[in-house]
Amino acid sequence: MTAEQSNPSERAAETGTAFDAVVVGAGFAGMYMLHCLRQQGLSARVYEAGGDVGGTWYWNRYPGARCDLPSMQYSYSFSEELDQEWSWSEKYSPQPEILAYASHVADRFDLRRDIHFDTSVTKASFDDITKRWTVETDRGDQVTAKYCIMAVGCLSATNKPPFEGLDDFVGPVYHTGEWPHDGVDFSGLRVGVIGTGSSAIQSVPIIAEQAAQLTVFQRTATYAVPAWNEKLDPEFEKSIKDDYPEFRAKARARPTGVYFPFNLEPALESTHEERIAKYEEFWARGGLPFLGAYGDLLFEKDANDTVADFARDKIRGIVKDPAIADLLCPDNIFGCKRLCVDSGYYETFNQPHVKLVDVSEHPIERFTKKGIVTGGTEYEFDAVVCATGFAAMTGSFDKIQITGRNGLTLAEKWRGGPRTYLGLSSVGFPNLFMITGPGSPSVLANMIPSIEQHVDWMMDCIAHMEERGADTIEPQLAYEDDWVEHVNEVSKVSLRSTCSSWYVGANVPGYPRVFMPYIGGFPIYVNRCNDVMTGGYTGFDISGGGDSNAPPEICWTEKWHVELDMEVMTPAMIAAGRVPVI
């Protein structure tokens, strides 16, 4: 009988409430974690606040929502059969299709039977005597597990600014990250949208198609590069599927875990004419790869100025009213906040029923019964959309009372910013793993390979512990401190650390300003994780069991041994931490 057939999770559930592992969240991270735990014959319970699998793609159903990495790459790689049987319809597939993919994965690997939906984990506490976690939910569940795995998502806790008078507004207020499942019909309505990040960039053109009047409240102007989205060419799809593993491996060796053309030359060594030609070439390709036009754009302010000027010229070329174009032109570093990928965003402002309101000088003062007041003017609406983003990286952790050894809570420990070893775990919280936690490449890489690499590392680690009968694994303080310092140091090399983005928690009032993801490059990070593992879990204390810090005999994560792609980075760049993570 296989581990799948014997279903240890059901056995654990029947006999009580003790599991090998509890997983919080059933997005792509929690789903893959559950699949792997089962493969190792371990019992698992997954809790998911939403009503089904999919995470981001379950919640973000706003009009125009889609991925901005190519779907052929923004997908799981762990199953060759899955890779072959699934077909994406577009280069950047829309949210319903990505959600359908998540649902297909859940069906195919029979995941739902171990997932409790519509259930939020409220507390997780470590017992130093039993060496187990007790996990509690808002439905009154109380279960224990040896391993507690946080798959809560980097962009899943919505940021809802506490606007004064919000409850006075008589119309509906939607957040893009909690969109109604039966959709919203804006036909004939006066609609206000707050925010100009990726969610607004995607939704504004479509809301404008329906609304009678649309007003966008802009606090910071945004750079957006056209997606040039298109139907996926079957010939192209076939060419990838003919050797998908090889293609995936090539992508993993790239700084962001995504494969696309990249020019390593410095912008500052080209003439103005050469640069314009290069920018035009990359603009025609569109999307995030535009940042691959030159290797120094995110490191040298003078180089960045050249691409920022080019992008501003593009905006002025699209938007007919020069005053509106000026307002839409950002004056900050290009790509410093996460670059947006658009389909007709700037063009939307040429339509007579679309208005742009600058709230940089005069913030939104309050909501009223009829609408929004800013700069002394009341704007009347039938509906308002908050495209105000997320409490990124740490927001979902903050919502759970996580108590580790000696009563230490994660919130207290992270008050000055998140502290982890490799973004995988944190001192004081034994056997608590974080999938794409702060301090890992996470949001600065293709998230699905980032998730798979973390889960595979954790599964190797858990197998290692189980083989030796070990009780707990926990990072050592000196290694955690060094890693936090390294994450911080590497971030300073990049221009990205200089602006007020969600990467540094600056979008949420009261959050400490710390650069949270690891910007040193995905394959470099992966190799570091491998070295830690093959060195016998260097920097971790493993307690109980024999010879637990001896090098493991097997690593079933062979695919994560990455040869760096030296076409897109040089030894000097790696040494200086100037790996072009775009």
Give the closest residue to 91 by CA, choosing from 226, 254, 200: 226
The smaller minimum CB distance to ligand NAP, of residues 33 and 387, is found at: 387
Specify the amino acid at residue 551: P
3-state secondary structure of 333: coil
Residue 204, interface with ligand NAP (CB under 6 A)? no
Query: Smallest gap, in angstroms, from Cβ of residue 329 to ligand NAP?
Result: 15
Query: Smallest gap, in angstroms, from Cβ of residue 163 to ligand NAP?
Result: 7
Give the closest residue to 533 by CA, choosing from 435, 453, 461, 438: 461
Rounded CA gap, 357 and 327, in Å? 9
Q: Structure tokens of 295?
A: 């290797």
Residue 366, interface with ligand NAP (CB under 6 A)? no
* Residues of span 39-68 touching ligand NAP by CB under 6 A: 67-68
Rounded CA gap, 435 and 426, in Å? 12
388, interface contact from ligand FAD, ligand NAP, none, CB < 5-8 Å by kind = ligand NAP
The smaller minimum CB distance to ligand NAP, of residues 425 and 497, is found at: 497
Stretch that binds ligand NAP, among 14-22, 102-110, 192-200, 461-469 (CB under 6 A): 192-200
Residue 507, interface with ligand NAP (CB under 6 A)? yes
Judged by the rule CB under 6 A, the positions of this chain that interact with ligand FAD are: 24-30, 47-50, 55-56, 58, 60, 65, 67-69, 74, 120-121, 151-156, 199, 396, 399-400, 435-436, 446-447, 451
142, exposed or middle or buried, with CB in 10 Å at 0-12, 13-18, 19+?
Answer: exposed
The smaller minimum CB distance to ligand FAD, of residues 203 and 431, is found at: 203
- Report H helices in 216-372: 234-241, 244-252, 272-285, 301-318, 322-328, 345-348
Give the closest residue to 449 by CA, choosing from 69, 92, 22: 69
Rounded CA gap, 450 and 438, in Å? 12
Dihedral sign of CA atoms 248, 250, 251, 253 in order = positive
297, interface contact from ligand NAP, ligand FAD, none, CB < 5-8 Å by kind = none
Which of 151, 155, 267, 410 forms a contact with ligand NAP (CB under 6 A)?
Answer: 155
Rounded CA gap, 506 and 356, in Å? 23
Which of 57, 76, 78, 502 forms a contact with ligand NAP (CB under 6 A)?
Answer: 502
336, interface contact from ligand FAD, ligand NAP, none, CB < 5-8 Å by kind = none
Do residues 58 and 50 touch, judged by C-beta distance below 8 A? yes
Which residue, chain included where needed, has tokens 């599991």? 19
Do residues 540 and 262 touch, judged by C-beta distance below 8 A? no
The smaller minimum CB distance to ligand NAP, of residues 25 and 389, is found at: 389
Do residues 328 and 356 touch, judged by C-beta distance below 8 A? yes
Residue 219, interface with ligand NAP (CB under 6 A)? yes
335, interface contact from ligand FAD, ligand NAP, none, CB < 5-8 Å by kind = none
Binding mask 316-345 for ligand NAP (x = CB under 6 A): ----------------------x--x----
Rounded CA gap, 177 and 158, in Å? 6
Which residue, chain included where needed, has tokens 């371990």? 42
114, interface contact from ligand FAD, ligand NAP, none, CB < 5-8 Å by kind = none
27, interface contact from ligand NAP, ligand FAD, none, CB < 5-8 Å by kind = ligand FAD
502, interface contact from ligand FAD, ligand NAP, none, CB < 5-8 Å by kind = ligand NAP
Which of 9, 202, 442, 557 forms a contact with ligand NAP (CB under 6 A)?
Answer: 202
121, interface contact from ligand NAP, ligand FAD, none, CB < 5-8 Å by kind = ligand FAD
Query: Smallest gap, in angstroms, from Cβ of residue 138 to ligand FAD?
Result: 8
Rounded CA gap, 40 and 57, in Å? 28
The smaller minimum CB distance to ligand FAD, of residues 56 and 491, is found at: 56
The smaller minimum CB distance to ligand FAD, of residues 156 and 306, is found at: 156
Rounded CA gap, 292 and 565, in Å? 15
Rounded CA gap, 271 and 152, in Å? 47
Dihedral sign of CA atoms 420, 498, 316, 186 in order = positive
3-state secondary structure of 24: strand
452, interface contact from ligand NAP, ligand FAD, none, CB < 5-8 Å by kind = none
Q: Which residues bind ligand NAP (CB under 6 A)?
A: 67-68, 155, 161, 176, 194-200, 202, 217, 219-220, 338, 341, 359, 364, 387-390, 443, 502, 507
